[in-house]
Amino acid sequence: MDAIGSPPVIDPTSTPAWLALTEHAHRCRSLTVRGLLDEPRDHLRLRAAGIGFDYSRQRVDDEAVRLLVQLARETGVEALRAAMFGGEHINVTEDRAALHTALRLPRSASLEVDGQDVVADVHGVLQRMSDFAEEVRTGEWRGATGERISEIVNIGIGGSDLGPAMAYRALAQHVQPGLRCHFVSNVDPADVVRVLTDLDPERTLVIVASKTFTTAETMTNAHVAREWLVARVGEQGVPRHFVAVSTNTDAVRDFGIDPANMFGFWDWVGGRYSMDSAIGLSTMIAIGPVGFRALLDGFYAMDEHFRSAPLEANAPAMMGLLAVWNRDFLSIPTTAVLPYSQDLARFPAYLQQLTMESNGKRVRRDGTPVDYPTGAVYWGEPGTGGQHSFYQLLHQGTDDVACDIIVSALPTVERTPAVDEQHDMLVANALAQASVLSVGRSAQEVRDSGVTEELVEHKVMPGNRPVSLVMLPQVSPFTLGALISAYEHSVFVQGAVWQINSFDQWGVELGKSVALGILADIRAERSEDANLDPATRVSLSDYLEQRKG
């Protein structure tokens, strides 16, 4: 099932580099980050698209770095990278390209995939999005009763929700005054009801984001929103208050949306890679076409760095290779993403889908099973709140956790002496955590601080947690795009080394189909379903009994 032009599938554990890394990892167990920092580590501090990536606190020496780069070459990372950027069908299980990078190519670029100029297609949709966004922002587009639109409700799920919701939070300082965006994803009725309750239907525009326009959760919420609007405005209001991000023209028209207000994207854009496609319509309305172009420019700048920089000087490539090192050779199963920026509060949730839906795989691209760990668990919360929550486990727990600490050098709110002083406090906490997590505090240092002997061991910080420090100049559309692109390419590198397909997500399908069967049972008030396991039949029976009350 190899894609044409991409490297053949191999067992990475059989490569000379993997075998050498396995042996080297045993020798590295005696190394400490504290000791490694005594040597020059400037080659582990990289810059790309204006962002600093400091890997000097990773538990890795020069020989490990050399072998990781060798592993990348032996597993065909560079060849697969070329195939991806060239539009080859590297998503082999769905026979598709994985060409999210085409979404941010400049208009002057050219890329033909399956006989179609995708750059022209992309910019055609971007222009339609831009025209529509400007109509909403200027008040030219108005609701059915003539009211100006002030509320945008994005209804989607997964990649149709997480990216736009994260971007709206991150770029709050760039949102046009008088516009607010709201996001509905959960099929739990509490989600859509709570969002709609305080909104004025006459001033609300709903974006229904579903490629097929059949996604159960999204369409259920969309119909609730439609009923809410019609009750106030009438059926004639639907075309002025609903637009679609979809490719299913017939379903969009049947819903009551004018297909002229349908914005499409392509099967070579996976959901978790789609926030810079038409899925980002709410983002473009909020920050404007110029801001959205800056977001795309940030993506593109990092794409170009990843595509052309040598592996050892390539920030996303090194991020991915160090993730492989931590996961497979240091046996660290999780990575905490710790943004010291309230603007990036939803970034860890966004990365959870990007990383775990991409690389949570148990077979290689050719279907053969893996016998080595693949995708790590990614999780996290913004600092400094997390310091008073789960950092205790990070510092003194029994398991190592790799940590990505993300810092913005400048605040995003209007600068005053008081704001600068408070931002200094935030950054001081970020740098302190990076230091303590990686360097720790020895028993002798605790004693020297005057602590009584019986408390010494309680206050020792082992340190030696691998830490990457990512420093943005400031959270902006450009830097957000570049940051996301860096993580996208890190995920790609990990998947390429592991020989898995990072661009399908079959694991989400079975639960959905079983849920449809259970829903039919609920509606028929039937608990005895031979297709269900015994425990589920009991739970279903319990639910049917309790729902009567």
Q: Which residues contact 335 (CB under 8 A, 6 or more apart)?
A: 323, 326, 355, 376, 377, 378, 379, 401, 402, 403, 404
* Spatial contact of 289 and 28, defined as CB atoms under 8 Å apart: no
Note the helical H segments in 413-469.
Answer: 417-439, 443-448, 453-459
Give dist(CA 12, CA 371) in Å, integer. 10
- Name the catalytic one among 140, 509, 512, 545: 512
Q: Which residue is associated with the tokens 């990512």?
A: 470
Residue 469 burial by CB count (10 A; 0-12/13-18/19+): exposed, middle or buried?
A: buried
* Spatial contact of 242 and 206, defined as CB atoms under 8 Å apart: yes
Per-residue burial over 345-383, b if 16 or more Cβ lie within 10 Å, else e, is ebbbbbbbbbbbbbbebeebbeeeebeeebbbebbbbbb
Give dist(CA 67, CA 131) in Å, integer. 50
Residues forming beta bridges with residue 549, ordered by sequence position = none
Question: Does 357 qualify as catalytic in the annotation?
Answer: yes
Direct distance between the N- and C-terminal alpha carbons of the chain, in angstroms, rounded to an integer: 53
Amino acid at 27: R
- Name the catalytic one among 357, 361, 423, 489: 357
Give dist(CA 490, CA 494) in Å, integer. 6
Give dist(CA 435, CA 405) in Å, integer. 11
Q: Which residues contact 259 (CB under 8 A, 6 or more apart)?
A: 249, 252, 253
How many other C-beta atoms are found inside a 10 Å radius of the C-beta of residue 480? 25
Amino acid at 263: F
- Name the catalytic one among 26, 39, 388, 421: 388
DSSP for 514-525, please give it.
Answer: HHHHHHHHHHTT
Give dist(CA 262, CA 525) in Å, integer. 38
* Spatial contact of 355 and 442, defined as CB atoms under 8 Å apart: no
Torsion angle, CA of 326/328/334/339, rounded to 10 degrees? 40
DSSP for 77-106, please give it.
Answer: HHHHHHHHHTT---BTTTTB---GGGGG--
Angle ∠(307,169,257) on CA atoms, nearest 5: 90
DSSP for 6-66, please give it.
Answer: SPPP--GGGSHHHHHHHHHHHHHTT--HHHHTTS--GGGEEEETTEEEEEEESS--HHHHH
Per-residue burial over 104-134, b if 16 or more Cβ lie within 10 Å, else e, is bbeeeeebebeeeebbeebbebbebbbebbe
Question: Does 512 qualify as catalytic in the annotation?
Answer: yes
User: What amino acid positions are annotated as catalytic residues?
Assistant: 357, 388, 512
